[in-house]
Amino acid sequence: MKLWQKNIQVADSVEKFTVGRDKEFDLQLAPFDVLGSMAHARMLATVGLLTEAEADELVKALRSIYAEVTTNPGFSLEDGVEDIHSQVELMLTRALGDTGKKIHSARSRNDQVLVDIKLFLRDELMKLTGSVQAFFTLLQSQSEKFKTHLLPGYTHLQLAMPSSFGLWFGAYAESLVDDMHTLQGAWQVVNKNPLGSAAGYGSSFPVNRSLTTSLLGFENLNYNVVYAQMGRGKAERITAMALANLADTLAKLSMDACLYLNQNFDFISFPPELTTGSSIMPHKKNPDVFELIRSHCNRIKALPNEIMLMTTNLPSGYHRDLQLLKEHLFPAFQTLHDCLDMASLMLRSVEIRQDILADIKYQYAFSVEAVNKLVLQGIPFRDAYKQVGLSIESGTFAYETQLHHTHEGSIGNLCNAEINGMMESVLAGFGFQKVKSALDNLLNG
């Protein structure tokens, strides 16, 4: 079944190539296609293209289909059905006859798939923020738990100054705040309604686009119908960039963990059941989880560029190239959830070595402390710097391990409460409750 087919049968080879893996990814769009159709049916009744009775019939049938696609693990597109849009319309027509055929009035598959993708991305961003928030809470908790555990800080991978695990965990927590800002930016782009743009040039029917915007819980609509279509690819790219920022944080954290577990660093360890061994070297405890997180996330960091290149030089209007974006973007959400889950598992169980900086090999990490002590005694900084430098070169450097860092964000003043406040502020800006209320009313009202 093809919504566009008339009397000519498309060659099997052409159909196979053009459909590709689209049916597989269309299953992820199924509940959102139903939601979009419910809002569309309600709107059609208000402009006289359906009676209220017909709209009620359609919405009732669509609610039944929604339950089918969300609870039946065996749901699939039937043989000969081109896409999820055709499948839902076929199910409606079987249930309601001619009334089911009316659902496509005043819309195109172009704006139908657009609204499905927007609703899908919005839902995935909402779930992802929940996972990020949970990981953020864990990092903050570990920052407080291990705030007195010192470790050496590095620049150029050379010994630099004292740091702490409080700072280390807290740094990645605050990084997630900035990542959440970019997720919110993607949310704001995605949370606009394209329905009613039809094939990209609007409709001669007097559709009420503001109504479907409200029914679906969108914050606003894509007003210009040409831009609504042009925005496909752009919304995916912006979303991919937000995912890439989050992936970058996880990849960097994973690299740190791999280094810190290395015997030459020996800062952290994990229970043996969370590491893997070697087939030939019995002593090995490999950080495979963090290595795979690093690689998965580095691949996600390439995603914005992939989408950019796939949409390069496309003129305005719809093009079949856009179909392939789903294959690249959709799996990235599950990958990030898995990476966040595994990073959480590892960091909840991490064991931190105490008194790392007591080892004499880290003595020069306290050189700045020695310089600052002289400055506090009234010696100009450049003279103090030279004096300590000469003592290091002559082998007479003496140091103390007591630290007195009190400014905001330092070892002795982590400001985790302030960082948590920033995260709460970002989360409050999403407006998830408005979306949840609108969709609940559509499904149950």
Over the chain (445 residues), the average pLDDT of each successive run of 10 is 57 75 88 98 98 98 97 92 93 96 95 96 98 98 97 96 98 98 98 96 96 98 95 96 98 98 95 83 86 98 96 90 92 98 97 96 96 96 97 95 94 97 97 96 93
Read off the tokens for 343: 């990073």
Its pTM stands at 0.93
Judge whether 248 and 296 are in contact, CB under 8 Å.
Answer: no
Helices (H), 191-224: 209-215
Judge whether 182 and 242 are in contact, CB under 8 Å.
Answer: yes
Q: Between the CA of residue 114 and those of 85, 110, 310, what are the distances in Å? A: 12, 6, 17
Distance CA 273, CA 276 (A): 8
Domains and CATH numbers, the chain: 12-105 (1.10.275.10), 130-141+164-197+222-358 (1.20.200.10), 359-420 (no CATH)
Write down the pLDDT at residue 281. 81
Write down the pLDDT at residue 7. 57
Read off the tokens for 138: 């864990």
Write down the pLDDT at residue 229. 93
SS3 299: helix
Distance CA 418, CA 254 (A): 25
Distance CA 414, CA 88 (A): 54
